[in-house]
Structure 1
Amino acid sequence: MNRNLWLLTLLQGLFFTNNVTFIAINGLVGLSLAPYGWMATLPVMGYVVGGALFTGPVAWTQSRLGRKNSFVLGLVVAVASALLCAYAAYTRQFWLLCAATLLAGYYSANGQLYRFASAELVAPAYREKAVSFVMAGGLIGAVAGPNLATRTQALAGVPFAGTYLALAAVAVLAMGVLAVMRFPAPPARAAASGGRPLGEIARQPVFIVAAGAAALGYGVMNLLMAATPLAMAQCGFAFSDAAFVLEWHVIGMFAPGFFTGHLIKRYGVLNVMGVGVLLNLACIALALSGVALANFTVALFLLGVGWNFLFTGATTLSLSAYTAAERDRAQGAMNFLMFAVMAVSSFSSGVLVTTQGWDWLNLGSLPPVLLVGAGLLWLLARQRRAAA
């Protein structure tokens, strides 16, 4: 542990305060402003589409400006986009809200690199634990996000306009944290090309499984999480109940971060990711068994823990697929694929939950979960053959 790792963990927590709050309110604000109900989650989709579109520019700024300056730029965009969201909510402009969340995707594309930066702050033998510990910083978002949304939803006289203003203040606080941090010097570029071409990196089985598990695991989690406030509203629950469920979901996402790295060290990354697949399946089974508050709470908690095992494992697994000089293009490609899948899941969640219902939404999440499990078994078989 070192000072910069602690500060990066705090920065991760503030980033996920923004993420969790966006997930909690964007669908509801969208539902109140959208011309049609099935468009409700377009603002959620805009956030992840923006993340996908900005992965390239963010990778460029990371390479040219370094970690710290690129992260500062992301927070500047976070402040501007949150203020624009507040204005859109206040003036009841649905398409302006979608545009503002699209712009906010730049901050998301930056923040998703915090976990990779953590591995650069410690010795190689401690990378798994560093990634896991920084991921645990999301616990701040688990508590702060839903409570921030609940306490500020009526602050400005328009539902959730005050919440967006509060998120701008959270980004300013993150700037203060970042100001006192130090990052290692960027790695030297290997010759003119900076390492292998992206196509060669991406064809490695270990990269295919890592990127696929991160993208599909995040996509399924986003599919169910984004739809939960809408599904609970359809079932007659108050927003405070949905905030409570999301709080426990995000606790499940990040509380394991204190020990996931130890589990990976002891049992192997593929085994831990396999447990993540099983927890996703348990979440779906429980969600299909009923729509009581306990069903929503426990199912979303299991979904969070399963996501943590898959996502932390995928991030750790990917570290063996590229060199330091190749990090920006490899990490950018992983995040682009993740955001692309999340964009599809964000849009699908609104369409499915408002037209087909909660049960069909959960059934639709089964194929990607099973595909991740098949990928893990494939890579495990290859590794055993190679060892033999």
Structure 2
Amino acid sequence: MTISDLPPSALDAAVRRNAFVLTAATAFGGSMMPIAVAFGGLAGIYLLGADKSLATVPITALTVGSALSTIPAATLMARLGRRRGLVLGAMPAIMGGLLAAYAIIAGQFWLLAFACLFIGASAAFNQQYRFAAVDAGDEKARTRALALVMGGGVLSAVLGPQAAIFTRDLFSPIPFAGAYVAIALFALLAALTVSRFRDLVTPHPRGSSHDRGRPLAEIARQPRFIAAVLCGVASYAMMTLVMTAAPIAMIGCGLSQSDAALGIQWHVMAMFAPSFFTGRLITRFGKDRIVIAGLGLLSACAVVSLLGLTVWHFWGALVLLGLGWNFGFIGATAMLTETYRPEEKGRIQGLNDFLVFAVSACASLLAGLLIGGPGWGFINGIVFPVSALALGALALAAVTRRTFPTPAP
């Protein structure tokens, strides 16, 4: 059954049901990354010793795996449907989590990094949850569904770090391996949950004659598209840069592994908790203002980080970082939906996520190189010019918007 076959009341009910299914799946699937991020760099230090320059390679591998999988994820779901695609997308993390645990037990750093590629691949499929939430319904319903699904990350903010703390010594005296077993378990739970999703649009198999819409270059030339992508990339990349470096910086300042894990927990909670009302804020104040607020919060995070090195400075900065990511990234995602037509969504969503994760992969690798060189202060200083660049693109898009009309949804 397609959207056109459903009466409006049934469509609204189906959209709401899907949003709740995706919210639960986000809680499980979203729990993988806080674990991998909290302990990825620390596991790298454990396996490498004193050399911190390569310690964040496992975290970089997560983002590289995501970047390489974004377009395949979007293409797979366009051909098989959301439900099948999302279920299959959880499989790499199951394998990757188990392989990562074995790599730590065996003392194989590069095998750990290789395993993280698979975990990152599943994270790319998890990013499609937010797009699956906006497949159907009017703009108000889609905005609220998007916010609800992103709000599922609040649960992952609790589940992920707490699971990391309780499972990190599962294979004592070898640390961290148990946490990666927890990642595999969360991936399995996400697959079982998302199998209850109901496809509301018909997939397009290879060779079908459906309209593919405008050429990609034409869509990408829209100032609104450029602004949406740049704001999304800036929000995600700066969040990745600071978040990746934070646990290593905290340990370097004499804080404990539990402090680092709890810092990531507060950060992830701040990333997703506002999602319950971000949709309403977007409806009331507009997408652009919410994105501007997000970029401002990212800059506030950098300011707090530069003011001190106590646990409260780290935790406060990580909370602001999460809030900034929420407003900036969700606002940019909502902006992106204005720039494509239904038949173009698979290509545009895949391209957007590829750019987001490719730049974020560079940011996570850069974090490892910089934390052992110029240091924590320099890393936070990068946030200011990047935020200014995104704001400039947003301002330019606002000025030229009447010249480049938004395509009809």
TM-score, normalised via structure 1 length = 0.96
Alignment partner of 1:107 is 2:125: no
- Letter of the 2:288 partner, please give it: L
Alignment partner of 1:362 is 2:380: yes
Unpaired runs of 5+ residues, structure 2, are: 1-14
Structure 1 stretch displaced more, 180-189 or 284-293 = 180-189
Contact kept, 8 Å, 2:298 with 2:383, in 1: the verdict is no
1:208-234, Cα deviation, whole Å (9 max, x unpaired):
111111111100000000111100000
2:101 corresponds to: 86
Alignment partner of 1:162 is 2:178: yes
Contact kept, 8 Å, 2:223 with 2:396, in 1: the verdict is no
1:22 corresponds to: 36
Contact kept, 8 Å, 2:293 with 2:324, in 1: the verdict is yes
1:361-387, Cα deviation, whole Å (9 max, x unpaired):
111222211111111222222237889
Contact kept, 8 Å, 2:74 with 2:128, in 1: the verdict is no
1:179 corresponds to: 195
Q: Secondary structure at 1:38's aligned position in 2? A: coil
- What does 1:1-388 align with in structure 2 at a 5 Å threshold? 2-34=16-48, 36-157=51-172, 158-186=174-202, 191=209, 194-383=212-401
Identity percentage over the alignment? Answer: 40
- Letter of the 2:75 partner, please give it: W
- Letter of the 2:92 partner, please give it: V
Question: Aligned partners of 1:384, 1:324: CA distance in 2, in Å?
Answer: 22
Contact kept, 8 Å, 2:31 with 2:160, in 1: the verdict is yes
Question: Aligned partners of 1:380, 1:271: CA distance in 2, in Å?
Answer: 11
Unpaired runs of 5+ residues, structure 1, are: none
- Letter of the 2:311 partner, please give it: L
Q: Secondary structure at 1:113's aligned position in 2? A: helix
Question: Aligned partners of 2:41, 2:222: CA distance in 1, in Å?
Answer: 38
1:11-37, Cα deviation, whole Å (9 max, x unpaired):
112121001111101111011113732
TM-score, normalised via structure 2 length = 0.91
Q: Following TM superposition, by how much is the alpha carbon of 1:187 offset from its aligned partner in structure 2, in angstroms?
A: 5.8
CA RMSD of aligned residues (A): 1.8
Matched length: 387
Contact kept, 8 Å, 2:223 with 2:404, in 1: the verdict is no
Q: Following TM superposition, by how much is the alpha carbon of 1:59 offset from its aligned partner in structure 2, in angstroms?
A: 2.3
Contact kept, 8 Å, 1:187 with 1:324, in 2: the verdict is no
Contact kept, 8 Å, 1:194 with 1:325, in 2: the verdict is yes
- Letter of the 1:149 partner, please give it: A
- Letter of the 1:12 partner, please give it: T
Structure 1 stretch displaced more, 184-193 or 27-36 = 184-193
- Letter of the 1:197 partner, please give it: P
Q: Following TM superposition, by how much is the alpha carbon of 1:60 offset from its aligned partner in structure 2, in angstroms?
A: 2.3
Q: Secondary structure at 1:102's aligned position in 2? A: helix
Question: Aligned partners of 2:123, 2:140: CA distance in 1, in Å?
Answer: 28
Q: Secondary structure at 1:270's aligned position in 2? A: helix
2:3 corresponds to: none
Contact kept, 8 Å, 2:28 with 2:187, in 1: the verdict is yes
Contact kept, 8 Å, 1:49 with 1:340, in 2: the verdict is yes
Q: Secondary structure at 2:274's aligned position in 1? A: helix
Q: Following TM superposition, by how much is the alpha carbon of 1:202 offset from its aligned partner in structure 2, in angstroms?
A: 1.2
Question: Aligned partners of 2:202, 2:356: CA distance in 1, in Å?
Answer: 24
